A and B are shown apart, each in its own frame.
Chain A
């Protein structure tokens, strides 16, 4: 067997052990616990309001806007991490560069706030 496949053998063994453990615990529980079926037990909530309707429902389009804003600012952070990792090396030059970068991002955020996109109506 080649080295390449052997390194995957470990993964396979881990997977098998994982499945076996879960199976063993569930099976053990099945043997030990009392078995008394009841219709009420199959409902999603045993107490409280009965669930109604389809579980696929459309979310409000407003959530999209928040998600979009989040994705954008989240991804821009990828430029800040490498800078932060070598903060000392870049000295004051890097600091000013990053300040300009963040200032432009901040303009975007301010714009979104001013246009009322961040408000939860």
Chain B
């Protein structure tokens, strides 16, 4: 059994689906951030796998940018949670529901 690109892509699909489902199902913002990270890392795996398969350096370069932007996104998200928890004792996406919708 050879470890081909397909296996990495299957792993990436699985990670992405777990992240996406988690983001939609879970209600704790911190867990939701983890799910976002999971989705973005699935993207990274897929970029690297394609890059290795195509023997092209572009896939690895993309990972650098995804990595940094993911970190920045999560930092902003955590900062929002910190801002909210300074007013409230715990952070829960369901508790934040003053608005309809």
Residues of A within 8 A of B (CB): 2, 4-5, 61, 64-65, 68, 71-72, 74-76, 78-79, 82
Contacts and interface: CB of A to CB of B under 8 A. Distances in A.
Q: Which of A2, A71, A75, A78 has the most CB of B within 10 A?
A: A75
B75 A72 contact: yes
Interface of B: 1-3, 64, 67-68, 71-72, 74-75, 78-79, 82, 85-86
B64 A78 contact: yes
A2 B3 CA distance: 11
A86 to B, nearest CB: 13
Contacts, number: 32
Given A5-B1, A61-B86, A79 B75 contact: no
B82 A79 contact: no
A82 B65 CA distance: 13
Contact of B68 (A64, A68, A79): A79
Given A4-B1, A4-B3, A72 B72 contact: yes
Contact of B67 (A2, A65, A68, A75): A75
